[in-house]
Structure 1
Amino acid sequence: MLAACATQQPLVSDETIEEKAQTEPEIVYKNFEPETFYSLMVAELAGDRQRYDIALRNYVQQAHQTRDKAVAARATRIARFLGARQVTLNSSLLWLELEPNNEEAQVIAATELAQAGRLSESIKLAKNLSEKDVDSLFLSIASRAEQSTDTQREGLIKEYTELLEIHPEKPELIIGKGLLLAQSGSVDEALKLAQGVLKDDPMNVPAAKLETNILRELERNDEAKARLSSMLEQDPRNLSLRLHYARLLTHDDIEGSKEQFEILNEQKPGDPDLMFSLALLNQELGLFDEAKALYSELIHTPNRGSSAHFYLGEIANAQGDTETALVHYQQVGAGQDFMLAINRASDILLSQNRLEDFGDQFNKLRRDFPQQEERLYLSQSNLLVRHAMLEEAVNILTEGLTFHTQSSSLLYARAMANEQRDLIHLTEEDLRTILNYDTTNATALNALGYTLADRTDRFEEAFELISEAFALNPDDPAIIDSMGWVHYRLGNYQQAITHLREAMKAFPDHEIAAHLGEVLWVVGEKQEAEAIWQEGLRLNPDSDIIPGVIERLKAEQ
């Protein structure tokens, strides 16, 4: 997590845009209709009362309705203040349309276009900006190209090359081109560009970031660390430089990284992102008291509060304090930790057999997120299956199917749960229902065919179903495994071995190993069978399938 942003370059700074706003002549609003005037007054009053959602909504609405440049400017600035990226982009583009020569509008629009990945549009605007504004934009555009296609990136490299012909000494263009080349795999050329900038300007931080990222990729970590350490000796107050150094150290020197984040927290006290990074490092090092102290401060911050609750829950859970863990998990809001927190809380409730609380939790989720209802029924049933509560899982899936009658996901999950309950007729019923809706559903065809091959003597019927699945998806290791298994059940041992070897090569797995080992054992290749089983147990030491096969086959001798 700490290293994830190591290659990101900052977009145009807040200071640059604020300076631009302060130097622009005051924009005069035109006379408005009473309804518009009332709406804008409500927005201003809402802003005074920190109801920024109302202020933003009204200003955005009136910007598009009145097409007034001052209203569009105000809407853009409010959206940007709130971090509403898409709204900022839309409002800034409207402002730019209404006032095409306004440099603040150009800077914000170009910045947001880069943030949104619309890089060719962003660079088109950047070309028209003054040198002061454009420098960081060229770095930002290049860094955002990571997710672009090869063709898009080639187009950007061409743009930067042409710009360098006009401005050959501009370091931001050189570094930007280096970033693009590195993303394209031309690391040697990119490294040469970065080191060329550093030769002329040894304290150029963006060039140092590019160089050290490439050196780390080339496994030359000592050189990368030496470069950043030397620069920090000369400029110890450079936060961006120290942050990059701290992130670099997370790869092979956690203690050193912690030391750097402690310095950063002293240099910029109260910064939630720096505090969060330090808390993560303390947690990884097992310094739970220090980590908890930082997380406890962060739970009151808007951007890090949910994550802080999640990790406080993780620490409490690891220490056996499940009630405290539950409290924290249940305070995690929407975001990247949300579903994982729900799963953790569910595991605690189910391990304590608190089925009513578990059910209430998911009922509330379905009320709060009705658009996710089907997915939530599936998640709830998966958790019950994981805790071997198969009947309860089937009941939840049946409830879900009353609202989503043709859901392949819910039908498939119920089929698999009933298979574990040895209710094969119900498994077959649900899988055939899926196939009634979708005759080319390879997953359902394979599952039904495998179930018939494994749990009944209807081998010919199983072979037909698996063959249909194989024709639809011949590279799926699960289907290849099923094909091998049904050949084994039909007595076609060599064909079975061929398919099972192919499946094991494509997807090494303990269940495939169990199948392949069994066929090899039956044909007399017992030494190889045992080697395959050992490989399967290495892949999954907790496998109960392989020991069961071994016990059964040896008992049959």
Structure 2
Amino acid sequence: ACRRAEAAAGRARGDAELLGRAADTCWPVDQMKTRAMLESHLKRHPDDAFVLLIYARVEQRLGRRAQAVEALDRAMKKPAEDPRIPFNAGQLAADLHEPQRTEKYFSEYVRLLREQSGGEADLSRLEVWLRMGEAALTQQAPARAAEYFAQLQSGPFAAQARIHEALALADLGRGDEALERLERGRRALPLDAPVLYGAESQLLLELGRPADALALMRKAVVEHPDEPDVLYETAMLEENAGDSDAAEKHLRALITLSPAHVQGLNALGYLYTVRNAHLKEARELLERAYKAEPLDPYILDSMGWLSFREGRFRAAAEFTAASLKRLWDEEVAAHLVEILAADGRRAEAEAALGEMSAHGSAQAAAKLAARLGLTPPPAAGSAK
């Protein structure tokens, strides 16, 4: 196929699009031949923007970044009339992690579309708004990014744009405006309302409004009772608010709806473990979660704390230590200290207290030592 494509391109010298198709055909089997075909064409047509962009892509895939950027700039040296040229240039610039070029070339693409349609083109579905916004954020320009995201109002990427727009506005200190964008998005994009509810709730938490976040997600549960993520996020907020009965209700509904929901299995199993109740059911739930995600540090901690509740201290210590190796967490570290102390492993428990202190949890370590009757770790800078 490559030989035939190369021959066809050779018979139609100067046909850039045919050469491009030949390059696509040959690339998987002979990368150097592909590059040579493009270089041969560019010797005769050094300003062919279409082929220059293909050549730049080849250089990028070969790991020759500087050459790719140089070919990209050559391709965009003259104003383009074909919108495909700045579009392809913008995509390549994004892949090369060149945010200024990405924004510049996609802006040129949008300008050409508007110009050639007499201003009548509907650009509200274009994914390039996302790419332009992301490029602006990389350049520390959230206001410009928010303007780009705001342009994307419909289609499969609209919900993502609303979330990005809200985050950019929040970064500018315009939290109420960000919340309004998400609320408006929920109304305009009903199929995406569950994910937008979650984003709005998270933003409320970041703004220090946990009660409002919980109220919002409870409203979301009423409107979307069969959405697993809505049930899970609501349960987590309820648990954090101290309403474990409501959290249990929603987690049970979640697992009935989605029996393989790993986070839901872990959350309900851990809830029972913390209560020191329904431990048989907690084990069944957590073992299902553990079989699905045996390396998840949160599940490992849940398995460890459940084993502790069951009096299986050796297994508890192994699970909890494994969790800490994957992700250090103050609460999990405290679990390990308590497990070791209950197992009579005082020296190891005090060593674990030292680890807590070394990770910046000296105050928590001292309080835990006092509660368990252990020797607290030495204060920072003191002699041992």
What is the TM-score of this pair, normalised by structure 2? 0.67
Name the aligned partner's letter for residue 201 of structure 2: S
- 8 A contact 1:261–1:277 mirrored in 2: no
**Distance apart, 1:336 and its partner CA:** 5.9
Aligned residue for 2:379?
none
- C-alpha separation between the residues in 2 aligned to 1:554 and 1:236? 75
**Distance apart, 1:202 and its partner CA:** 9.6
- C-alpha separation between the residues in 2 aligned to 1:287 and 1:442? 37
Name the aligned partner's letter for residue 302 of structure 2: S
- C-alpha separation between the residues in 1 aligned to 2:314 and 2:160? 44
Aligned residue for 2:60?
250
* Count of residue correspondences: 341
Q: 1:278 aligns with which of 84, 89, 92?
A: 89
- 8 A contact 2:248–2:268 mirrored in 1: yes
Aligned residue for 1:227?
36
Structure-2 change in CA distance of 1:324 and 1:207 (3 Å): closer
Instruction: State which structure, 1 or 2, has the greater radius of gyration over its C-alpha atoms.
Output: 1
**Distance apart, 1:330 and its partner CA:** 0.9
Q: How does 1:321-332 map to 2 (within 5 A)?
A: 321-332=141-152
- C-alpha separation between the residues in 1 aligned to 2:351 and 2:92? 45
Q: 1:494 aligns with which of 311, 314, 326?
A: 314
Which secondary structure does the structure 1 equivalent of 2:292 belong to? coil
* 1:476 corresponds to 2:268: no
- C-alpha separation between the residues in 1 aligned to 2:363 and 2:83? 56
Structure-2 change in CA distance of 1:351 and 1:472 (3 Å): closer
Q: How does 1:236-385 map to 2 (within 5 A)?
A: 236=45, 242-251=52-61, 252-265=63-76, 269-279=80-90, 288=100, 292-300=103-111, 301=113, 306-335=126-155, 337-351=157-171, 354-385=174-205
**Distance apart, 1:498 and its partner CA:** 4.3
Name the aligned partner's letter for residue 391 of structure 1: A
What is the CA deviation profile of residues 139-173 of structure 1, one whole-angstrom value per residue up to 9, with x for unaligned ones? Answer: xxxxxxxxxxxxxxxxxxxxxxxxxxxxxxxxxxx
- C-alpha separation between the residues in 2 aligned to 1:475 and 1:292? 42
What is the CA deviation profile of residues 37-86 of structure 1, one whole-angstrom value per residue up to 9, with x for unaligned ones? Answer: xxxxxxxxxxxxxxxxxxxxxxxxxxxxxxxxxxxxxxxxxxxxxxxxxx
Aligned residue for 2:283?
466
- C-alpha separation between the residues in 2 aligned to 1:527 and 1:241? 67
- C-alpha separation between the residues in 2 aligned to 1:265 and 1:380? 40
**Distance apart, 1:320 and its partner CA:** 4.9
Structure-2 change in CA distance of 1:438 and 1:224 (3 Å): closer
Q: 1:420 aligns with which of 213, 229, 240?
A: 240
Q: How does 1:383-422 map to 2 (within 5 A)?
A: 383-422=203-242
What is the CA deviation profile of residues 324-383 of structure 1, one whole-angstrom value per residue up to 9, with x for unaligned ones? Answer: 332222112335653332222212344556454334323322332223333332332233
Gaps of 5+ in 2: 12-18, 114-120, 370-375, 377-384
Structure-2 change in CA distance of 1:485 and 1:244 (3 Å): farther
- C-alpha separation between the residues in 2 aligned to 1:202 and 1:529? 69
What is the CA deviation profile of residues 385-427 of structure 1, one whole-angstrom value per residue up to 9, with x for unaligned ones? Answer: 4555322211211222232345443222111123334444443
**Distance apart, 1:243 and its partner CA:** 3.6
Q: Tell me the C-alpha RMSD between the 2 structures.
A: 4.6
Aligned residue for 1:21?
none
What is the TM-score of this pair, normalised by structure 1? 0.49
- C-alpha separation between the residues in 1 aligned to 2:49 and 2:5? 19
- C-alpha separation between the residues in 1 aligned to 2:207 and 2:122? 34
Aligned residue for 1:518?
336
> How many percent of aligned residue pairs carry the same amino acid?
19
- C-alpha separation between the residues in 2 aligned to 1:546 and 1:464? 37
- C-alpha separation between the residues in 1 aligned to 2:364 and 2:83? 58
* 1:552 corresponds to 2:364: yes
Gaps of 5+ in 1: 1-174, 176-193, 217-222, 535-544
- C-alpha separation between the residues in 2 aligned to 1:546 and 1:395? 39
- 8 A contact 1:378–1:410 mirrored in 2: yes
- C-alpha separation between the residues in 2 aligned to 1:266 and 1:367? 44
- C-alpha separation between the residues in 2 aligned to 1:225 and 1:528? 61
Structure-2 change in CA distance of 1:480 and 1:321 (3 Å): closer
- 8 A contact 1:484–1:497 mirrored in 2: yes
- C-alpha separation between the residues in 1 aligned to 2:36 and 2:335? 54
Which secondary structure does the structure 1 equivalent of 2:154 belong to? coil
What is the CA deviation profile of residues 412-455 of structure 1, one whole-angstrom value per residue up to 9, with x for unaligned ones? Answer: 211112333444444334324545767786543420221343xx
Which secondary structure does the structure 1 equivalent of 2:80 belong to? coil
Which secondary structure does the structure 2 equivalent of 1:444 belong to? helix
Which secondary structure does the structure 1 equivalent of 2:278 belong to? helix
